[in-house]
């Protein structure tokens, strides 16, 4: 991915690829499959790799990146790698250790480090605390950036009020560069997107194709997003897959979007999202699919 239109400038001057490869996996999938899929993704042109400490595949993803650097497919500076601070490391003194653990596992490829939130119980408190009553660590995150451990810092699963609490934090020196949230045609996050744009914060969409129907997290009666009749009709119109329509919808809204698959054919197909354009009428029709439906019960 070397075309300039495929990147978005962050508020700290760095650039993020508009399409990312997600590495969250189902538990029954061998970790080696993640390595293989990540290598395929890099070969296909993905340069934005999204991972997290809690996914338990950072070593496998790091191995894939190293292999593609060694064989000359990419240079280190080509890779935009994301990891996330898990909720159990929110105490300020634990933040850097979590980041360093991710750096060690992934092979020191970290570009952006996200503060991830799992619940909203803390949003009514003055000091912005989480479920364990520990203060959220924006200053500790800033220290990681100052130390050169991550180029950029952002957040994940934040709603507007939570973002405002971070942005209004006394002494804040670096505002989040991005906010990664569940976002798809059934939950298009229009208000949150408008707010993020007004604050020069990039919205990053996970779950843009629905989710892998994992019983631990997802209600098994949830609708299959890619079977939606409107998506399927537009797919026929543009001679593309429903997945590509769903991804293109997000890109045209100014959202950075994550796509995930372990299948080589789907990985290669998804990156073709830059090869076509949806019409204004298409976008209006897709906007109409919004039902504020979440596959994952996180308030963002």
Distance of alpha carbon 75 from alpha carbon 58, whole angstroms:
19
The crossing angle, in degrees rounded to 10, of helices 242-252 and 229-238 is 90
Catalytic residue among 55, 81, 186, 249: 55
Q: Could you confirm whether 55 is annotated as catalytic?
A: yes
Residues 6+ apart with CB under 8 A from 203: 178, 179, 180, 181, 183, 189, 192, 193, 196, 197, 254, 255, 256
* CA atoms within a 13 Å half-sphere pointing along the CA-CB vector of 273: 32
Taking the C-alpha atoms of residue 104 and residue 60, their distance in angstroms, rounded to an integer, is 12
Distance CA 90, CA 135 (A): 7
Answer positive or negative: Cα dihedral of 248, 250, 255, 256.
Answer: negative
Note whether 65 and 58 are within 8 A (CB): no
Catalytic residues: 55
């Amino acid at each position: 991915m070397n075309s300039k239109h495929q990147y978005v400038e962050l508020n700290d001057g760095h650039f993020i690829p508009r399409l990312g490869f997600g590495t969250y996996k189902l538990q029954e999938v061998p970790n080696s499959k993640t390595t293989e899929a990540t290598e395929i993704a890099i070969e296909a042109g993905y340069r934005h790799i999204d991972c997290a400490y809690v996914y338990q595949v950072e070593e496998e993803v790091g191995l894939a990146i190293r292999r593609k650097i060694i064989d000359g497919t990419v240079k280190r500076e080509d890779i935009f790698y994301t990891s996330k601070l898990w909720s159990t490391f929110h105490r300020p003194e634990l933040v850097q250790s979590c980041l360093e653990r991710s750096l060690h596992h992934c092979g020191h490829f970290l570009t952006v480090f996200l503060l991830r939130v799992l619940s909203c119980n803390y949003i009514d408190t003055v000091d912005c605390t989480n479920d364990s009553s520990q203060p959220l660590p924006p200053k500790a995150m800033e220290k990681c950036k100052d130390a050169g451990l991550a180029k950029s810092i952002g957040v994940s699963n934040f709603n507007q009020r939570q973002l405002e609490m971070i942005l209004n934090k006394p002494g804040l020196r670096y505002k989040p560069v991005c906010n990664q949230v569940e976002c798809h045609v059934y939950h298009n996050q229009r208000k949150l997107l408008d707010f993020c744009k007004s604050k020069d914060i990039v919205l990053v969409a996970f779950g843009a194709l629905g989710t892998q129907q994992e019983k631990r997290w997802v209600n098994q009666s949830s609708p299959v997003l890619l079977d939606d009749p409107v998506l399927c009709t537009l797919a026929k119109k543009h001679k593309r897959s429903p997945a590509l329509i769903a991804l293109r919808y997000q890109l045209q809204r100014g959202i950075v979007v994550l796509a995930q698959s372990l299948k080589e054919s789907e990985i290669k197909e998804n990156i073709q999202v830059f090869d076509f354009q949806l019409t204004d009428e298409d976008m209006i029709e897709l906007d109409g699919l919004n039902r504020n439906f979440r596959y994952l019960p996180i308030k963002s």
